[in-house]
Amino acid sequence: METLSEIAAVIARHVSKDGFHATPIERVTLVRSSTVTMPMPNVYRPQLVLVVQGKKEVTLGDRVFRYAPGRYGVVTYDLPATGHVVEAAPDKPYLCLYLDFDPVMLGDLALRVPPSSPGTPSLPIGKTVSDAGADLLDATLRLLRLLDDPAALPVLGPLAEQEILYRLLAGPDGARMRHITSGRGRVAQIGRAIAWIGQNFRERFSIERLAAEVGMSPSSLHEHFRAVTAMTPLQFQKQLRLQDARSLMLVDDIDVTTAAFSVGYESPSQFSREYRRHFGEPPLRDIARLRASPALAVVA
């Protein structure tokens, strides 16, 4: 696809090294990897994820999402997931674009763009992957071309970003996008539950307490939370704890026991068992592997 090749050329021109790269476009991040990478956890924010070259896989709970060139994902909540690049080479690196959603811009557009289908949409999974249409790719290319025209960026950047959001709202993911702006009903309650766990994951809590915090019954919370995140609330909490502990050991160089207690575990042995089950290696071996091969640890 010619437009996709042009997008890849723009990204390659502005990103010459592997890793995540902020851009002068406020909410746009570009990603490059010249090798396949090991599965790495990350908390994905509400955003558009467009793979331009190469392939990657993202696991959310018990679901696997596969990206190829021209496929995009929409994330509607802060979700802990594990992603890795599965196809990349030095002469044809993996290239990807992230666009964080501006809730104010999105909310304004949602009021002005008619829903693509009538009725109230059902509660969706918080992440999906679809094929990008020509209109969405054209809008993305227009936005990225502004990297070569910094004088026009402040004026035309918001317009190009709005067009991307419009294409998403008017397309098959429109109902999913509207969930981000909803302040009422089950959608808002699950969003509050996700945010509450994100702020309190180091503490012990029960489903009953969480349900009370967001105004739901425990059974309804469990059902709807799993529908959105592909996890139970406690599985969601566990992933956040393990990701946080891994970061503490890798970045702050603290020992396994201290990391376990810091994120809320009461038993270092339980922490090590769950860590190995989640990451595939015991903590010390996993951290040593990441330090020995930093290029394999790019978060896709």
Confidence of residue 39 (pLDDT cuts 50, 70, 90): confident
Task: Yes or no: say if 285 and 72 are a contact pair by the CB < 8 Å rule.
Answer: no
Residue 293 has a pLDDT of 76
Give the residue-averaged pLDDT of 263-282: 94
- Is 157 a residue whose pLDDT tops 90? yes
Q: Kindly tell me the sign of the dihedral angle through the C-alpha atoms of 285, 290, 291, 296.
A: positive
- Is 186 a residue whose pLDDT tops 90? no
Residue 291 has a pLDDT of 85
> What would the two tokens of residue 223 be?
């059902």
Domain boundaries, the chain: 2-181, 185-230, 235-297
Predicted TM-score (pTM) of the model is 0.84
Give the residue-averaged pLDDT of 165-193: 82
Residue 10 has a pLDDT of 97
Domain 235-297's class? mainly alpha
- Is 164 a residue whose pLDDT tops 90? yes
Give the residue-averaged pLDDT of 142-153: 96
Residue with tokens 């501006």: 102
Domain 2-181: CATH architecture, name and number where available: Sandwich (2.60)
Between residues 249 and 114, the one the model is more confident about: 249
* Mean of the per-residue pLDDT values of the chain: 90
- Is 116 a residue whose pLDDT tops 70? no
Residue 120 has a pLDDT of 46
> What would the two tokens of residue 137 be?
């790719």
Going through 156-246 in order, the beta strands assigned E by DSSP cover none
Task: Yes or no: say if 64 and 58 are a contact pair by the CB < 8 Å rule.
Answer: yes
CA distance 223 to 201: 20
Q: pLDDT tens digit string along 205-252?
A: 999 999 999 999 999 999 989 988 889 999 999 999 999 999 999 889
